[in-house]
Amino acid sequence: MPDETRSYREDHRDPKSGADLHEMAITQCVVDAVCEHAAGRRVQSVRLQVGALCGVVPDAMQFCFELAAEGTVADGARLDLDVQPGSARCRCCGDEFVLPDLILLCPCGSADVEVLAGRDLRLLSMEVS
């Protein structure tokens, strides 16, 4: 019988590596797209733009990339992550400001903000041979 006290995050971690399966699922989709676009050619490097607000931990994604790429044309490829900060506009004071994390508060104290950037995850380029 499973332990009922386990948390969601414990149930969704790879038991061998400890990697969060959320990052693994996202990284697997990236590797699948890269391999499809490589059309059988060897992938040397992949460059991704990761928004600070997209909910992906860059170190976990790096780790998961190595696992997901194993045995594919991307096996051994370098993953370069370009982490972009989030930005928002306050609907109260009109100020635009940087959001380093998911705490959506304007410096004026208002939580009535519109996120302008930082939620994207984009495949920018890949080098093949």
The secondary structure of residue 40, as a DSSP letter, is: T
Taking the domains of the chain in order of start, what are their residue ranges?
A: 8-128
> Percent of the chain scored above 90 by pLDDT?
74
Count CB atoms within 10 A of the CB of residue 39.
8
Domain 8-128 sits in CATH at: 3.30.2320.80
State the average pLDDT over residues 2-25.
Answer: 51
> Percent of the chain scored above 70 by pLDDT?
84
Count CB atoms within 10 A of the CB of residue 3.
7
Give the model's pLDDT for residue 13.
Answer: 47
Q: 32-84: per-residue pLDDT in tens?
A: 999 999 999 999 999 999 999 988 899 999 999 999 999 999 999 999 999 99
Model confidence, pTM = 0.75
